[in-house]
Structure 1
Amino acid sequence: LRGHQIFRLIDQADSEVLRRMCNNGISFRSCLTEDVLFVQGAACNEVYHVMNGVFEYTQHSRRRSTSGNEAPPRNVAAGEWLSWVAMWSHWFHVGRVQAGPTSEVLTLDVKAVMKSLEATGDLMNFFHQYSVAFHQRLVSARPPAAVWPDDLAVPFADYGEIVLSIPQREQKFV
């Protein structure tokens, strides 16, 4: 988890919180070729981090190529996140993910993450402000200003962009 800035921040602020997250919210899932990780329209309460292999993401709505056809499938490789948006909002998958040969994901339960943050004071305040800023970008992400958000990305919602948009009190926490 320390590969993402959010979890490095948690570890630096209170390593016990990160330990609780890992003990209570992480599981691993090994997938064989063509196993389906999630489908379009399903509620999402988990965030996925690709550990090994490649997954194929296909979307059959909204996102179209410039020719007006369905967007081509996209590969999601080791080190990438799926459904990060579910950490910050109530999310329903807008695409489908299917495993390539022998792929593995780390699954992070969003409720367990939030429960681990209870009674952490400044850390919880930071998460709250981060969530508000992320959500603002999520609901404003639509054409013509941006592409529609999906299970892979929300436009203008990278860690640095979000941190710069939260109140200075929480920025100082970083």
Structure 2
Amino acid sequence: MSALFESMTLATGLMATGIIGALICIPVKDIISVDFYDICDLFISLFFVGLISTKFSMESSHQTLLLIALFLAISLVIILIKLFVFVPFQTKAETNALLSRKDYIGEKGRVTVTINLDTVGEVVLYTIFGNVPMTAKIYQSSDDDSPLRIATGEQIRVMDIDGGIVYVTPYEEDLFLPPLESHWGKIK
């Protein structure tokens, strides 16, 4: 084991530290991360510094400066890639591209957190793409016949949407019964 460490150069030591550190930090990276730069990026940068420095052989005074410059440059590249590539895609992935906000008008759902006239609650809308939880308020119509409260578990229908808040009214699903004076199937 000691022969392995004696034969190891600085470049291979950095590569080994980068690989081992990244593998150890993967399970805990969400705990030890700072915004979009997590601790695994540090070890990935060390790995690439070791990889690149294996191609250079120079005296030790210049090698330290080169390694520091490489580490900072690679860290900066990783931050820029995350900032300008991954973050924009992540924000687009959080929105549903199949349904726009206005498509939720008319959808049915169920109240999950009670809605009072002056407070917000939460509803789950049942769409063809799955269940969508949303913040909701009671829709106040012009005839002022709005309910004061919609309890948890009641069915609702979306009447309007504004700023990420859906405005809902209670909804009772009636069984479809054709009118008595139906013209369907009438023989002429």
TM interval, short-chain normalised: under 0.3
TM-score (norm 2): 0.25
State the TM-score, normalizing by the size of structure 1.
0.26
Structure of higher RCO (CA pairs closer than 8 Å, 6+ residues apart): 1
Quick check: which has more Rg, 1 or 2?
2
**Structure with the higher helix share, 1 or 2:** 2
